[in-house]
Chains A and B, each alone.
Chain A
């Protein structure tokens, strides 16, 4: 039971509705990509699901409203991989991944065997065995990204929210990271909701796309149904070609010498 159910969720920041009456229902085990132009409300929507920003409306996880949950209970259900996670350079990989166990510990307890094993499993899943003594300051961008995902896995939440998980990575590491997330999703039945900018990459992995524009959900469906030339032109102001590849679609920007309307 790890479905996500949003009804009429609104987030007002600075007097402006950044997320505007969104209804969304995500099934257990689904991979949903949240797309949309800059400022569309993607990050804020993820923050609302994790209850990191006040919202109106209701968000239920597995049939229970998040508003009624304790912070630690909510964090056992939902893990967040932020776009720019803070990675204190002095902290070791092992310590950092163990922080993912926090919601299981309560403020006063120490890590037990179960927690150490969960952290070790997460490191192993991300090919980071042997990294546990390395300070975060010595890692490359790609390694850091994996460490952050490992922390989310150690949290053992069934829902993982990812904000631009591949923004800092080169194309090889983007592919590796998303392949890995997909494997984890299938093997462990995780539910993934990811805000993504790269539409082609999103279309390769997500089963479903939700397009946000000015806080509203303006399209929701299979990538090939959402990614159309008209939709992208209308909401991104971009001129593109959509090319089908192996049953998926790729988005190719079209050079325009005259202004696109």
Chain B
């Protein structure tokens, strides 16, 4: 029995768990929907909002609505633009969510999802595939697989190195192990790249990141990993707030810190590795989106994580629109766009709101 319960019968104060404020949830969802509309509407061929909405209406079997688009336009909408927008949304949401998760788990607002070496590992895997596999095989199947395996392997090594040292519970050890493993993998990757100078262009393009226009197949490839990672992270989001008190206090509050951290890191890494495997290294999303939300809405991880997912999705859809239209028909690498537009925006947020981080 607890004695404190018996003492005061009905407290006058009401404590509410602070979830997502409806204003911010609404703003985030509106931002994502707006981005998706822009993403499917903008392109070399103008589909028009009427065309898009009637086509959607027909697809959803709304009575009396039939698409005003012709067959070619239908196919541009549903086979080219929509899958690319969905893929950008999945990857952007995943990278932001993973970034916010890493920041909470490592109690460091400056870490990104590539912290534990997933980028360097994926880079090595992709470079090996580009350098040594026959051209027909490498693009659609082998490259993502090699990048995924490389990324996962690097993070596994980071964890093993970080744990085998004395005091391996410490997050600092793990971060240093990540730096070590990333340096080693980058060295290998650069070596392979130098040995195969003819593939330099292709490796470079991959490293700068892009959303492929490959129809629904890549969406199908990425979706299971992103879905799994998202569910795990969102289910554990309350614990991330507890972890923000530090390992020892979290432990004294009953959290099995090592196990929870492992679960969250594995989930974030698997999702990130899948995103990187398809789209290359798109930088900045994982830091800028959670930070912008933190500064605007000033929220704990419980609300930050779902908001990062939604806003990150919208952010990358918009960035991809710019990447494919600014110098059309050429494409700007997506990593350049996210940094070019993200950094000034971040600077603006940084200047206009202080103290909330």
Contact = CB atoms under 8 A, between A and B. Distances in A.
A72 interface: yes
B300 interface: yes
Interface in A62-76: 71-76
A76 B5 contact: no
B15 A71 contact: no
B252 A124 contact: no
Contacts of B356: 90
A188 B7 contact: yes
A20 B260 CA distance: 32
Interface stretch (B46-54, B195-203, B240-248, B270-278): B240-248
Interface string B227-256: 000000001101101101110110111111
Contact of B18 (A74, A94, A103): A94
Interface stretch (A110-118, A173-181, A222-230, A242-250): A110-118
A188 B3 CA distance: 5
Contacts of B249: 80, 82, 85-86
B13 A75 contact: no
Given A52-B251, A71-B256, A100-B253, A110 B300 contact: no
A204 interface: no
Interface stretch (A32-40, A129-137, A211-219, A232-240): A129-137
A155 B18 contact: no
A80 B16 CA distance: 23
Contacts of B299: 90
A90 B17 contact: no
Interface residues of A, number: 56
Contacts of A129: 11-13
B352 interface: no
B254 A187 contact: no
A156 B2 CA distance: 7
A135 B13 CA distance: 17
Interface in A126-166: 129-130, 132, 135, 137, 153, 155-156
Contacts of A117: 11
Given A94-B18, A107-B255, A187 B3 contact: yes
A189 B2 CA distance: 10
B43 interface: no
Nearest to B256: A71
Majority SS at the chain B contact face: loop
Contacts of A47: 248
B3 A189 contact: yes
B244 A88 contact: yes
Contacts of B242: 99, 102
Contacts of A99: 241-242, 245, 253
Given A88-B244, A137-B355, A116 B15 contact: yes
Interface residues on B, range: 35 or more
B298 interface: yes
Contact of B246 (A86, A102, A122): A86
Contacts of B11: 117, 120-121, 123-124, 129
A71 B8 contact: no
Contacts of A194: none
A73 B238 CA distance: 19
A103 B13 contact: no
A66 B249 CA distance: 17
B248 A52 contact: yes
A46 to B, nearest CB: 10
Interface string A83-109: 001101111101101111011010110
Interface in B177-233: none
A89 B14 CA distance: 21
B4 interface: yes
Given A52-B248, A107-B236, A97 B241 contact: no
Given A71-B256, A90-B356, A129-B12, A110 B251 contact: no
A6 interface: no
A123 B248 CA distance: 23
A98 B251 contact: no
Contacts of A108: 235-236
B13 A123 contact: yes
A120 B17 contact: no
Contacts of A202: none
A238 B184 CA distance: 55
Interface of B: 2-5, 7-8, 11-18, 235-236, 238-239, 241-242, 244-246, 248-249, 251-256, 260, 294, 298-300, 355-357
Interface of A: 47, 50-52, 71-76, 78-80, 82, 85-86, 88-92, 94-95, 97-100, 102-103, 105, 107-108, 110-111, 116-125, 129-130, 132, 135, 137, 153, 155-156, 184, 187-189
10 contacts: A51-B251, A71-B255, A72-B256, A73-B254, A82-B252, A86-B244, A116-B17, A117-B11, A121-B8, A129-B11
